[in-house]
Structure 1
Amino acid sequence: MNFVLAAGGTGGHMIPAHALAAELKSRGHGVMLLTDARGAKIPGLFEDVPVHVLPAGRLSKTPWGLLKAMRSVMAGRREAKALYRQHQPHAVVGFGGYPAFPALLAASALNIPTVLHEQNAVLGRVNRLLAGGAQAIATAYEQVDRLKPGQKNKVVLVGNPVRASIVRLGELPFPAFDDVAPLKLLVTGGSQGATVLGDVVPAGLGELGERLRHRLQVVQQCRPDDIERVRDTYRSLGIPAELSTYLQDMDAKLGECHLMIGRAGASTIAELTAAGRPAILIPLPIATDDHQTANARELARAGGARMIPQPQFTPAALARQIEALADDPEALANAAARSLSVGRPRAASDLADLVELVGQGETPAMVGKAPRTADAPIGLAPAGAAA
């Protein structure tokens, strides 16, 4: 079977698409990616998959901005239709975001079945626009806001796909930690970084007691404009820190860390829970529909993360949270286990099952499929099924 994946913009859309592509290819299917210029530049993804860059405008509230965006969308739609006529996909899978919009519009125009994957706990704008015509909606959370009641028979809970190397971390023991071992911290602000983390985290680590501060080992992602300033701060505090603008080897960094500090993006939550790592989360306050706060609620309720709203994210508040975990190695290991307990490491496989089902001309509603619970198998097409 042939499948087209439509994703772009940020790693939050691209990483789950990449994980699904790897799973589909392992089953012998053909896979193509349609993305935008920004998505195509993210390193380490889709290196063995044909990639086509489409025009994709971001919808604007101003009349001129809206007209300009729609021109780009329609141009992208025309290009996608031409590709579909040539490659004849069995289904098109959209991962939200404006770069997926023209590809999914083209699929609807040619009556090609579509699957929407929603990474966040709030249905995104593009997915809301297209949900009515989709054959299936795959979700990462049991509770997803902004779904219409009539769309719930299309919903299948699969989780958010992550790379196989991340899933393998959850099968390994949590890194050893005791009263004298180094405390390894991973600090990441998502694919765009976060200046607030560069401001608050070094200062907060500087407020820790001397005994704990001298045990710190930090890996931190920084914005390019911030990296030298952050490096100088760590140097002045005597805290060893490895700084980078992009963490391409996230699996290795996550595998070594005891505690992650960062945003609550969908891919971040999925990787934390698949690997079983505790976190201190600072949801992005300007995220559309405040979806990062919604993303974090399941992990926080389970005890795998502590959430600090950005207005309360101060050096003193961060230091208190780190000390509460680091002063009790058993508490840190328990938080890691609770993080792992809400993970969905089969997400890529379950989403591939759903995509195969739709590619065969069936839908969850046709086979009487109710939304999956966290513990139940998906029960759709068997792995490796083909039309």
Structure 2
Amino acid sequence: MSKHYVLAAGGTGGHMVPAAALATELTKRGHHVALVSDERGVRFPGLFEGVQTHVLPAGRFAGGPMGYAKALREMWRGRAMARELYRTFRPAAVIGFGGYPAMPALLAAFAEKIPTAVHEQNAVLGRVNRLVARRVDAIATSYERTERLPERLIAKTHLVGNPVREAVLALRAKPYPLLEEDGIFRVLVTGGSQGASILSEVVPDGLAMLPPNFRRRLQVTHQARIEDIDAARAQYAEHQIAAELATYLPDLPEQLAWAHLIIARAGASTIAELTAAGRPAILVPLPSATDDHQTANAREMTAAGGARTIPQKTFTAVELAKQMQKLGLDPQALENAAGRAKSVGRPHAVSDLADLVESLDAPLARLPVPVRQQKAAFA
């Protein structure tokens, strides 16, 4: 039976990409989907083509008492608009993906007694998801261990993983790119959708410290912030390292396909794509991320042997060169790391999440056994 679903997500790539993957899967199953987000979210290129979108006001709780009061007013106004939407669209369920723009949609669903779920992309339950976790019908997580998730909520928690784009998932069936001892060594450097200045500052000098025979084999693709790209390009040129730089990589799945090693932040979407494709990485978590969630994101892949994590405070050219040599000088070790990265991927995340969503408005007697019950330690 065709149903209507509302997906509510904040306007960052970490929230929007899994929401878009679920929208595609639900549409394939014959359902109708609407997106609720902010101005940034509805403008993401290519993610929600053909999906009706709605921008709702949603304040951000910051700025002291005056800021909190303004945020509450905006949330309440967004809640009223969402309730009006639900009376015409009549969703079978509302699914939140985090971010403050998801809050009004979920508050309206509670008021209208519409089934709800939230999906957490990170290894630490986000602020908005923490605020609504007690009231939603189901919590979908991406890691076996999810911090700040109360143990009393385990009965409605499902480990599904973090959905990725089909183009990335398709790489899972392809072999790790052939790496010969004297062949080209392809490195992909990415700091996420906004780039990362620390990678632009450290990586060129770190690669320059590699032995000459290794350095000559390098072929680098580097995504950098617009304010860093010229300086990084000059550093690569000075060190005579073959490198292509861009502020945005629209063909990221293609870049992942040929990369032997990735140097990256540890955002939820990055980890999901690396483990789905099976690519080894050197991870530099963003230290200012809320609740240090990027360090938590990196733990599972690192523990499995698919990545090496370097805290930003110790991420120097010398340390990078040392880790690069440990990984890159032994092709078999690198291929083994790729396999270990793949071992913690969750390729069925989007279908498992869609199954969970479809079950939300089913009579209790027909609800399925949880997709995969989370068995992690709780903080």
Give me the whole-angstrom Cα distance separating, in 1, the residues matched to 2:135 and 2:365. 12
| Cα distance change on mapping 1:142 and 1:19 into 2, 3 Å | same
Give me the whole-angstrom Cα distance separating, in 1, the residues matched to 2:155 and 2:92. 22
Deviations 1:348-377 (A, max 9, x none): 00000000000335499x655485369xxx
Give me the whole-angstrom Cα distance separating, in 2, the residues matched to 1:90 and 1:292. 33
Residue 373 of structure 2 aligns to which amino acid in structure 1? Answer: R
Shift of 1:99: 1.6
Shift of 1:293: 0.8
Shift of 1:284: 0.7
Deviations 1:297-351 (A, max 9, x none): 1100000000000000001100111111110000000000000011000000000
Partner of residue 42, structure 1:
44
Partner of residue 313, structure 1:
315
| CA-atom RMSD in angstroms | 1.6
Q: Is the 8 A contact 1:44 1:248 kept in 2?
A: no
Partner of residue 106, structure 2:
104
Partner of residue 259, structure 1:
261
Matches within 5 A, 1:70-109: 70-109=72-111
Partner of residue 19, structure 1:
21
Matches within 5 A, 1:1-387: 1-60=3-62, 62-362=64-364, 369=370, 371-372=372-373
Q: Which moved further from structure 2: 310-319 or 65-74?
A: 65-74
Partner of residue 385, structure 1:
none
Residue 71 of structure 1 aligns to which amino acid in structure 2? Answer: R
| Cα distance change on mapping 1:176 and 1:87 into 2, 3 Å | same
Partner of residue 377, structure 1:
none
TM-score by length of 2: 0.95
Q: Which moved further from structure 2: 278-287 or 204-213?
A: 204-213
TM-score by length of 1: 0.93
Q: Is the 8 A contact 2:59 2:70 kept in 1?
A: yes
SS across alignment from 1:55:
coil
Give me the whole-angstrom Cα distance separating, in 2, the residues matched to 1:56 and 1:363. 36
Give me the whole-angstrom Cα distance separating, in 2, the residues matched to 1:197 and 1:127. 30
| Cα distance change on mapping 1:184 and 1:2 into 2, 3 Å | same
| Cα distance change on mapping 1:242 and 1:328 into 2, 3 Å | same
SS across alignment from 1:25:
helix
Q: Is the 8 A contact 1:219 1:242 kept in 2?
A: yes
Q: Is the 8 A contact 1:201 1:318 kept in 2?
A: yes
SS across alignment from 1:156:
strand
Q: Percent identity?
A: 57
Partner of residue 378, structure 1:
none
Shift of 1:7: 0.9
Deviations 1:231-265 (A, max 9, x none): 12212222222222222221111111111111111
Give me the whole-angstrom Cα distance separating, in 2, the residues matched to 1:70 and 1:235. 52
Q: Which moved further from structure 2: 35-44 or 134-143?
A: 35-44
Gaps of 5+ in 1: 375-387
Gaps of 5+ in 2: none
Q: Is the 8 A contact 1:90 1:360 kept in 2?
A: no
SS across alignment from 2:286:
coil
Residue 329 of structure 2 aligns to which amino acid in structure 1? Answer: D
Give me the whole-angstrom Cα distance separating, in 1, the residues matched to 2:238 and 2:122. 39
Q: Is the 8 A contact 1:153 1:370 kept in 2?
A: no
Give me the whole-angstrom Cα distance separating, in 2, the residues matched to 1:100 and 1:237. 46
